Amino acid sequence: MALQIVRNVCTACGDCEPVCPTKSITPWKGVYKIDADTCTECEGEFDAPQCLDVCMEDDCIIAA
pLDDT at 1: 82
Which amino acid makes up residue 49? P
pLDDT at 43: 96
Would you write out the chain's pLDDT as a tens digit for each of its 64 residues? 899 999 999 999 999 999 999 999 999 999 999 999 999 999 999 999 999 999 999 999 999 8
The residue among 3, 1, 2, 17 whose CA lies nearest residue 59 is 3
* Cα gap 40→44, rounded to integer Å: 8
CATH for 3-63 is: 3.30.70.20
Determine the Cα angle at 37 with ends 3 and 33, to 5°. 50
